[in-house]
Amino acid sequence: MNLKRVVVTGLGALTPLGNTVEEYWKGLSNGVSGAAPITRFDASLFKTQFACEVKGLDVEQFIDRKEARKMDLFTQMGLIAADQAILDAGIDLEKSNLNRIGVILGSGIGGLKSFQDEVTDFAKGDGTPRFNPFFIPKMIADICAGHVSIKYGFRGPNFVTVSACASATNAIIDAFNYIRLGKADIIVSGGTEATITEAGVGGFNALKALSQRNDSPQTASRPFDKERDGFVLGEGAGILIIEEYEHAKARGAKIYSEIVGGGMSADAYHLTAPHPEGLGASNVMTAALEDAGLKPEDIDYVNVHGTSTPLGDISEVKAIQKVFGEHAYNINISSTKSMTGHLLGAAGAIEAIASILAIQNSLVPPTINHFTDDEEFDSRLNLTFNKAQKREIRAALSNTFGFGGHNASLIFKKING
């Protein structure tokens, strides 16, 4: 079968480092931490009292107040980031075949705040079932994709992927496949998540998954550091406009990069812990390389899942060494979660954007907060500690791994021709 080429023609981002793609990239380039004490609720009784929140966002600047009240924050952020990306891509709605434009997004949890608030209010009441009529439409994970399609009249494929922290990457892989198979011309894809709530922080604390470095939030996310003690919860949205190459050329669109491969695998090992030797992680990277028709030595940069957990970081690095062999010492490896925290279902989207911008700018964003070497990691690896590094990047691989052993990898390539 003759597969079509697939490119990225628009980007949108709301992140803990800034509310535009430009602000996000500036923060990444300069090694800025987005972590700070939680402002969304009183976290004083929680074991973890900080997170990477989106800051200074006035939703009503972008969405009518009456409409915004019908949406959970995760939908609001996804819709705003989608607006940015669609504008950036320069899509002319009047000249486009809207039946050939789809929306495929990822969210690991969906409207957690809406769910928490409605159930809490019910529990505090007299038992009479009084619920907001928008409770279900605010909560369900697919609803942001629905809002985007309704706003713009996009009538192509429309759904959401849910695979925990791999959700957005799975969504982009689905968009990539639909377009290269000729089933759509353009797909709005990426992910959105807003879980900085009492239930979100309390739940992850109960799992002992979060850093508890309350005395120093900005240095709490420290992937590959010997003193790492868990991830930092983040929130936000990342949206990519995925487009068929000839379609993009015909309308004179700017092209950020080409998507050349995607891989998926399962650890089939444990609900929350990765395979200790990185079996699923090595399988998924190998699958992505095979799908792209690339050799390991074609990759210059790996944006790792790198959550700053004791087990996760080492298993991923073991997998990289297994897949790349001696070439592992020639590539740059970095975890942008050291700056953004972990956006769960949206992580793969903003990290895809980071990988694309790294290719465009010939700059590898750093892994910040490295203080103490961990002898478990091979010192010959370039983990891009503390400062961005200039280098030409021909192709970048982005990893995301989710609870349940869900693994997904994407490969972006500098556009040729």
Sign of CA dihedral 229, 235, 236, 237: positive
Q: CA 148, CA 155: separation in Å to the nearest integer? A: 10
Condensed to tens digits (0 to 9), the pLDDT of residues 376-385 reads 999 999 999 9
The type of residue at 393 is: I
Confidence of residue 1 (pLDDT cuts 50, 70, 90): confident
What does the pLDDT look like over 57-94, one tens digit per residue?
Answer: 999 999 999 999 999 999 999 999 999 999 999 999 99
Per the CB < 8 A criterion, the answer to whether 184 and 100 are in contact is yes
Q: What is the pLDDT of residue 417?
A: 57
d(CA 119, CA 193) in angstroms, rounded, equals 20
pLDDT tens-digit series, residues 176-229: 999 999 999 999 999 999 999 999 999 999 999 999 999 999 999 999 999 999
Q: pLDDT at position 416, please? A: 77
pLDDT above 90: percentage of residues in the chain = 98
Q: What is the arithmetic mean of pLDDT over 162-187?
A: 98
Catalytic residue, from 147, 247, 275, 342: name it. Answer: 342
- Which member of 165, 275, 370, 406 is catalytic? 165
What pLDDT is attached to residue 175? 98
For the cut 90, the answer to whether the pLDDT of residue 315 exceeds it is yes
Between the alpha carbon of residue 90 and those of residues 58, 105, 184, the distances in Å are 24, 20, 17
144 given a catalytic annotation: no
The structure's pTM equals 0.98
pLDDT tens-digit series, residues 2-38: 899 999 999 999 999 999 999 999 999 999 999 999 9
What is each CA distance from 155 to 127, 248, 361, in whole angstroms? 42, 19, 34
**Residue-range domains of the chain with CATH:** 7-250 (3.40.47.10), 260-413 (3.40.47.10)
Question: Rounded mean pLDDT of 108-132?
Answer: 94
Is 305 annotated as catalytic?
yes
- Helix (H) or strand (E) segment spanning residue 188: strand 186-193
Q: Is the four-CA dihedral 367, 371, 376, 380 of positive or negative sign?
A: positive
Catalytic residue, candidates 147, 305, 370, 406: 305
Q: Which of 228, 246, 199 is nearest to 6 (CA)?
A: 246
- Of the candidates 342, 319, 341, 321, the one whose C-alpha atom is nearest the C-alpha of residue 331 is 321
